[in-house]
Structures are given as C-alpha cells and as structure tokens.
Amino acid sequence: MAKETTTEKKVATATNAPHATRTTRADALRNEDALLEAAKVVFANVGVDAPVREIAAQAGVGVGTLYRRFPTRSDLVVGVFKREVDACAAEAPILANAHPPGEALSRWLKRYCQFIVTKKGLASALHSGDPAFDALPAYFRSNFEPALTDLLAAAAKAGEARHDVDAYDLLRAIGNLASTGGKDGPDGMEHTYRMLDLMIDGLRFGTSR
C-alpha cells in the first residue's frame, strides 16, 4: 500500500523466514540507468517512435531487460521525461549556490530553454491521447514551479528582478518562446536565446519600479 522507496530492506519481524527480501541487484540498477540514458540519446536522434530494440541495443542489454524495468514503451518515455525534468530542476539550487541571484536566475532560464527544445519531440507525444502521459504535465509543473519560484524570490530580494512575476507564467511564456523557435532554425537557438535575454532584461528593468 505505502509506496516503497528505492531500497526496500528486509522485514525484520521475529517469526519470518531467514531472509524475506533482498536489496535490488547492482546490475539491475546499472541497467536501469543505462536504459534511461540510451533512451534519451536515441529519442533525440531518431525520435520518440524509435524501436525498442534499438534502445536496448544502445544500452547494451536485451529487450527482456528493458521490458522488466519499463513494461511499456510509454513507461520508458515517461521515465526519460521525468529524469530530464529532475535533472533540470536540480540545477536550480546548485546554480543558486554558485552565482549571485540574478546570474543564477538567468543561467537557469537558459538551461530551461534547452530542456524545452530537446523535449519538443516528447511534447507532441504528450498530446497523443495515451493515458500513460496524463501525469506528466503535473510532474512538470510541480518540479519546475518551486525551483523557479525560489530563484525568482532570491533575485527579487537582491533587487535583481521585479517582484510581480509569477513563476508559472514565466515558465509558460519561455516554454512557448522556446518551442516555436526550434534548434534547427536558420541561426539555431540563437534567436531563442536573444528573446530569452529580452525577457530577462525585462525582469531586471522592472526592478526600478
């Protein structure tokens, strides 16, 4: 009933058999990681419709292994998406520690742009009607919104950003901005970054109000 966290230790009740559970095997963990990494690469190169076999091959495992971890193609897509969301969101506090607030905000927004651009392929899959993807928008928001909220608050406190911008609005705005100006455009990403700088300047400018 309660969801197990990654390592489920043996049940220590007195009466039970010698060993009720084991830890997840090391190779299993390694393979799960390899699969997600491989899927990320293959999805980027071939698209989200890439054959499962190809992903398994790239990860250096058999399809059986892939399917034990990700019972369905969709599960793999979801896995990659979440992992990327996690990775991107996790950079927010790191950047916040390593740079002054305004700089951290600016850097993270650029990083977010990259996320959006590389996930454009996945984005269309999201609207494909497969119920496996239903939870992703919420996951997206629940990870990114707090991350950006913190960055914004810190920057605002330091007088490096205005106070009246909502994190979610900003996520959407930049999301739209980045998803229309693809990375394959005439000046690839340059246009997107220029527009992003514009928005960031806008954030700073508002400070004086």
Q: With binding defined as CB under 8 A, does residue 124 bind a copy of itself?
A: yes
Say how far apart CA 148 and CA 108 lie, in whole Å. 8
Which residue lies nearer to DNA by CB, 21 or 180? 21
Q: With binding defined as CB under 8 A, does residue 45 bind a copy of itself?
A: no
Q: Which stretch binds DNA (CB under 7 A): 46-54, 120-128, 172-180, 183-191?
A: 46-54
Q: How far is the CB of 202 from a copy of itself (least distance, A)?
A: 28
Q: With binding defined as CB under 7 A, does residue 159 bind DNA?
A: no
Q: With binding defined as CB under 7 A, does residue 22 bind DNA?
A: yes
Q: With binding defined as CB under 8 A, does residue 127 bind a copy of itself?
A: yes
Which residue lies nearer to a copy of itself by CB, 103 or 130? 130
Which residue lies nearer to a copy of itself by CB, 47 or 51? 47
Residue among 6, 7, 15, 129 that touches a copy of itself (CB under 8 A): 129
Q: How far is the CB of 18 from DNA (least distance, A)?
A: 5
Contact positions vs a copy of itself (CB under 8 A): 47, 124, 127-129
